[in-house]
Every structure is written in C-alpha cells, then in structure tokens.
Amino acid sequence: MNKKIIGVVLVIIGVALAVWGYNIYDSAGSQIGRAFSGYTPLEAWGGMVGGAICIVLGVFKIK
C-alpha cells in the first residue's frame, strides 16, 4: 500500500517537473538564447530529465 502511494506521488511530481522544465525550455527568453548561442538553460534540462526519472521510478513503485 505504501509503495503505491509513493509511486503515485512520484509520478505526479515527475509530471510537474517535466512540465516546468518544458515551460522554461519553451519560454521566449530561452528561444532567443538558443537562436543566438545554442544555449539551453540548465533548469530546463534538469526539470525534464528529473521529471522523467521520477515518472519511471513512480511507475516501478506502482507495479
């Protein structure tokens, strides 16, 4: 029972992190920065990768 609750919480947190990271990646300032320098904010990558890891861990906890 506890593993399933932790899994659901991890999935929810993972989705929130991934959305947050994508919002930073897709922001106007980030797009301008990528156009001129090719630089992607570290927060965007951290959010998207961290979110994906949380989702995967959550799915394995739910099983």
DSSP states of 7-59 = HHHHHHHHHHHHHHHHHHHTSHHHHHHHHHH----HHHHHHHHHHHHHHHHHH
pTM metric for this prediction: 0.86
pLDDT above 80 (res 1): no
| Domain residue ranges of the chain, discontinuous segments joined by + | 10-62
Q: What confidence tens digit (pLDDT) does each residue in 20-54 have?
A: 999 999 999 888 988 898 888 899 999 999 999 99
Nearest 5°: phi and psi at 39?
Answer: -80, 130
Give the mean pLDDT of the chain: 93
